[in-house]
A and B are shown apart, each in its own frame.
Chain A
């Protein structure tokens, strides 16, 4: 994994398309940066980015660790933006858009999490690039 931080809250990351790489990224990120200082907001921010990265790993790249995922994390005041792009053929987000998962369904909650926690999210047409916008209630302070 490479971690390049040209500005404090403008991070550009590439990581292998594996679940372990995602975990390693969050372990490192929790230690080094954190998204925001308030615990509840940090939880929501991490949850949103996790879902985006996991979708890219599992659905975009088929867990092929030889493929790479690009991620950009930007914060401007209270606004947090995530962009996650993979080199796969694209995730069929239309299948899940606007739908709640069935009560006892064992999968299919990723996009529901975007819908419930993000202010806005958008996939590109082919489904391999996702942008998520989250605005927190107050000006965020960095740890």
Chain B
């Protein structure tokens, strides 16, 4: 199964995850995010519509993507997060870094 689908919408690059963002999947997802960032787009969107769980390593991966795009002056947002994930991201203060919206 493909771990993520990368598409382009105007000036945005969208990475739609097809799995949970957890320890066992951060490796392939990191490659997908790197590929998305290599396009030079200044706006990264991570669509978590198909994701039920994000663990601490998944949070680390999302922060890593944010750090990368921030270095080039770009921005990042997370969309389609479940209510559980929204609560987790807020608890872990991720909403201080980038915009996060739910389903």
Contacts and interface: CB of A to CB of B under 8 A. Distances in A.
Interface of A: 19-20, 22-23, 39-40, 43-44, 46-47, 50-51, 54, 57-58, 100, 103-110, 112-113, 116-117
B88 interface: yes
A98 to B, nearest CB: 16
B92 interface: yes
Interface of B: 22-25, 52-53, 55-57, 59-61, 63-64, 66-67, 83-84, 87-88, 91-93, 96-97
Contacts of B57: 54, 107
A110 B66 contact: no
A137 to B, nearest CB: 14
Given A51-B55, A116-B91, A40 B22 contact: no
Contact of A109 (B25, B53, B92): B92
Contacts of A116: 91-92
A43 B53 contact: yes
A50 B22 contact: yes
B89 to A, nearest CB: 12
A-B pairs with the 10 shortest C-beta distances?
A109-B56, A43-B84, A19-B24, A106-B60, A23-B24, A110-B56, A106-B64, A54-B23, A19-B23, A107-B60
